A = this chain, B = another copy of it.
Amino acid sequence: MTTLWGGRFTGPTDEQMWAFNASIGFDIRLAQVDIRGSIAYAKALERAGLLSAEERAALVGGLERIAQEFAEGAFALAPSDEDIHTAVERRLGELVGPVAGKLHTGRSRNDQVATDIRLFLLEELPKLGEMVRHLQHALVEKAAAHLDALMPGYTHLQPAQPARFSHWLLSYFWMLERDQERLREIVRRAAVCPLGAGALAGNAYGIDREALARDLGFAGVTENSMDAVSDRDAVLETLFWGALVGVHLSRLAEDLILWSNPQFHFVRLAERYTTGSSLMPQKRNPDSMELVRAKAGRLVGNLVKLLTVVKGLPSTYDKDLQEDKEPLFDTVDTLAMALPITAGVIETLEVDVEAMRAALDDTLLATDLADYLVKKGVPFRQAHHLVGQAVRLAEEHGVALRGLPLEALQGISSAFGADVLAALSFEGSVEARDVTGGTARRAVEEQIHRARERLAAS
* Nearest CB on B from A241, distance (A): 9
CB distance from A213 to the nearest CB of B (A): 9
Please tell me if the beta carbons of A175 and B4 are within 8 angstroms of each other in the complex.
Answer: no
Which residues of chain A from 248 to 281 have a CB within 8 Å of any chain B CB?
250-251, 253-255, 257-258, 260-264, 271-273, 275-281
A106 at the binding interface (Cβ < 8 Å): yes
Residue in A104, A233, A261, A271 whose Cβ sees the most chain B Cβ within 10 Å? A261
Chain B residue nearest to A367 (CB atoms) is: B280
In the bound complex, what is the Cα–Cα distance between A80 and B393 (angstroms)? 25
- A244: B residues at CB distance < 8 A: 233, 236-237, 307
Chain B residues with Cβ below 8 Å from A9 are 271, 276, 284, 388
Which one of B229, B319, B323 contacts A285 once the chains associate, using CB atoms below 8 Å? B319
B residues in contact with A311, CB < 8 Å = 246-247, 250, 293, 296-297, 300, 308, 311-312
Task: Kindly state the separation between the CA atoms of A181 and B206 in the bound complex, as whole angstroms.
Answer: 30
B443 close to A282 (CB less than 8 A): no
Known: A210-B436, A316-B153. A5 touches B277 (CB 8 A): yes
CB distance from A293 to the nearest CB of B (A): 5
Closest B residue to A296 by beta carbon equals B311
Determine if A322 and B291 form an interchain contact, defined as CB atoms under 8 angstroms apart: yes
With known contacts A178-B189, A271-B10, A307–B300 Cβ distance under 8 A:
yes
Verify B281–A174 contact, CB threshold 8 A.
no
Q: Are A262 and B228 in contact (CB under 8 A)?
A: no
A-B contacts, 22 of them at CB < 8 A, read A9-B284, A12-B272, A21-B291, A106-B279, A154-B261, A156-B286, A158-B283, A167-B225, A178-B231, A196-B436, A202-B435, A203-B435, A204-B432, A206-B435, A207-B435, A237-B244, A281-B385, A282-B388, A282-B391, A294-B319, A297-B308, A297-B309
Number of copies: 4
Contacting pair B160 A283 (CB below 8 A): yes
Residues of B within 8 Å of A359, CB to CB, are 262-263
For the complex, what is the distance from the CA of A203 to the CA of B117, rounded to whole Å? 47
0 or 1 for each of A291-320: is its CB under 8 Å from B? (1 = yes):
101111110111111111111111111111
**A-side interface size class:** 35 or more
User: Do A337 and B20 touch across chains, with their CB atoms under 8 A apart?
Assistant: yes
Binds B, one of A31-39, A63-71, A93-101, A414-422: A93-101
Q: Specify the main secondary structure of chain A where it touches its partner.
A: helix
A223 within 8 A of B: yes
Out of B305, B337, B380, name the residue touching A19 (CB < 8 Å): B337
| Interchain CB contact (< 8 A) of A16 among B182, B247, B251, B344 | B344
Query: A4 touching B436 by the CB < 8 A rule?
Result: no
CA distance A105 to B383 in the complex (A): 10
CA distance A20 to B32 in the complex (A): 26
**With a CB–CB cut-off of 8 A, which chain B residues contact A369?**
281
Q: Are A272 and B310 in contact (CB under 8 A)?
A: no
A214 within 8 A of B: no
With contact pairs A158-B284, A258-B258 given, residues A290 and B20 touching in the complex (Cβ less than 8 Å): no
Pair B285/A158 contact, Cβ less than 8 Å = yes
Closest B residue to A379 using CB positions: B101
Task: List residues 1-51 of chain A with CB under 8 A from any CB of chain B.
Answer: 3-14, 16-17, 19-21, 50
B260 touches A263 (CB 8 A): no
